[in-house]
């Protein structure tokens, strides 16, 4: 395939929080560049690494054996300096120094916001790949890392449920999700949680406490509450404190899963998604596309402008919330 314009080399970086599958996407970018005859440069530690010139030329052997690894071989970071005029100038100087014609950016909302400002100032072509365990970006039905994170949370909650049943306990399990409740929603449904508390919905704690009271009256001695860390009540600690205050005789335990959800080998779904989008990002740049995020919608690769991704939101459907109530009876 012939490339449009003058792009002869592409830089790839991972930015923001890590997510399982980032390595698979990096692998796909490097190998696609090689196939299309493009030079590819790895940029370590995201935008901060670009500012500091932590850039190296990559070849296919650099990405051998990384498909199944969590984390990111390019490392990742958040950079406040990049959002300043001075920081962007330093980044542009490094892009020019290494003769990088375009960027492939793996990350979430913050990564794309940075790319938008960089393009507005220096006109550097870029394509994004949605990498976030929270699945909080429009433009793709799933984001890289989400499936793995949900499966990790599900496996942990299943094990917690075993001990809850052995001891007749109420367990409050906090999962990641500062602004989005998709991990809590999906892992909670998959594990049969009695309550799922998410940032998208105002939590009525009195209703939660009443359900615990009703369960106790009918001798249902196990109650699992899955809470997204961004729930407006204050996360798992606030919820467990409220349950203990109302039912001091119950055996109530809090478990915060934390960063275990970010790590681990990516699932097949994340590996395939990452491979598709890594290839799609390079193909898009080779065809002259820029300032778009590659995603998969209804099984088809689509490209969504950064502006739409940043401004959009992915609401949780009402039927999912209703189903939780029905199935927790």
Question: Please, where are the H alpha helices in the chain?
Answer: 22-35, 46-51, 85-97, 109-122, 146-167, 182-191, 205-217, 236-246, 268-286, 306-311, 318-327
pLDDT averaged per 10 residues in sequence order, the chain, 329 residues: 67 94 98 95 96 96 95 92 94 96 94 90 95 92 96 95 85 91 93 89 86 81 88 89 92 92 95 98 95 96 92 73 73
Residue 54 annotated to the active site: no
Say which CATH architecture domain 9-145+266-311 belongs to: 3-Layer(aba) Sandwich (3.40)
Give the model's pLDDT for residue 1. Answer: 38
Provide CATH 3.40.50.450 ranges for the chain. Answer: 9-145+266-311
Give the model's pLDDT for residue 292. Answer: 95
Rounded to 5°, angle at Cα 200 from 229 and 181: 45
**Rounded CA separation 74/192 (Å):** 38
Which of 122, 126, 142, 123 shows the shortest CA–CA distance to 134? 142
pTM above 0.85, yes or no: yes
Residue 100's CB is within 10 A of a number of other CB atoms, namely 22
What CATH code is assigned to 148-262? 3.40.50.460
DSSP codes, 176-215: S-SS--HHHHHHHHHHT-SEEE-TTS---HHHHHHHHHHH
Residue 21 vs residues 69, 134, 150, 151: alpha-carbon distances, Å: 8, 14, 13, 14
What is the side-by-side order of every strand in the sheet holding 252-256?
195-197, 223-228, 170-175, 252-256
Q: List, in sequence order, every residue forming a beta bridge with 296; answer none if it has no partner.
A: 301
Q: Which long-range contacts (CB under 8 A, 24 or more apart) does 124-127 make?
A: 124/92, 124/95, 124/100, 125/5, 125/7, 125/101, 125/285, 125/290, 125/291, 126/102, 126/290, 126/291, 127/102, 127/103, 127/281, 127/284, 127/285, 127/289, 127/290, 127/291, 127/292, 127/293, 127/294, 127/303
- Determine how β-strand 9-14 pairs with β-strand 102-107: parallel
Residues in the chain: 329
Residue 280 vs residues 31, 126, 128, 203: alpha-carbon distances, Å: 12, 13, 10, 40
pLDDT tens track for 15-61: 988 999 999 999 999 999 999 999 999 999 999 999 999 999 999 99
Provide CATH 3.40.50.460 ranges for the chain. Answer: 148-262
Q: Which entry of 54, 134, 195, 231 is annotated as an active-site residue?
A: 134
What count of Cα atoms within 13 Å lies in the side-chain half-sphere of residue 135? 19
Residue 192's region, left for phi above 0, alpha for psi from -120 to 50, else beta, is left
């Amino acid at each position: 395939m012939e490339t449009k314009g003058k792009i002869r080399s592409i830089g790839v970086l991972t930015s923001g929080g890590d997510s399982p599958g980032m390595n698979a996407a990096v692998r796909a970018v490097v190998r696609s560049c090689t196939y299309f005859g493009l030079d590819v440069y790895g940029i370590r530690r995201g935008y901060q690494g670009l500012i500091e010139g932590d850039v190296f030329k990559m070849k296919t052997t650099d990405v051998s054996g990384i498909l199944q690894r969590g984390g990111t071989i390019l490392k990742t970071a958040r950079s406040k300096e990049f959002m300043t005029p001075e920081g962007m100038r330093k980044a542009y100087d490094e892009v020019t120094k290494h003769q990088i014609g375009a960027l492939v950016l793996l990350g979430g909302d913050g990564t794309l916001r940075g790319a938008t400002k960089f393009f507005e100032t220096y006109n550097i072509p870029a394509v994004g790949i949605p990498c976030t365990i929270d699945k909080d970006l429009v433009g793709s039905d799933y984001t890289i890392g989400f499936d793995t994170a949900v499966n990790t949370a599900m496996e942990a909650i299943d094990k917690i449920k075993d001990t809850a049943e052995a001891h007749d306990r109420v367990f409050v399990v906090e999962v990641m999700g500062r602004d989005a409740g998709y991990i809590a929603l999906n892992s909670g449904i998959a594990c049969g949680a009695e309550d799922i508390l998410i940032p998208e919905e105002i939590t009525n704690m009195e209703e939660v406490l009443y359900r615990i009271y009703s369960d106790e009256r009918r001798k249902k001695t196990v109650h699992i509450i899955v809470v997204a860390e961004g729930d407006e009540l204050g996360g798992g600690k606030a919820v467990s404190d409220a349950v203990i205050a109302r039912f001091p005789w119950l055996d109530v335990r809090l478990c915060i899963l934390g960063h275990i959800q970010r790590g681990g080998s990516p699932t097949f779904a994340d590996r395939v998604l990452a491979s598709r989008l890594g290839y799609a990002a390079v193909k898009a740049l080779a065809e002259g596309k820029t300032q778009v995020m590659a995603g998969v919608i209804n099984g088809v690769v689509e490209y969504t402008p950064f502006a739409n991704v940043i401004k959009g939101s992915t609401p949780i459907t009402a039927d999912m919330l209703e189903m939780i109530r029905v199935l927790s009876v």
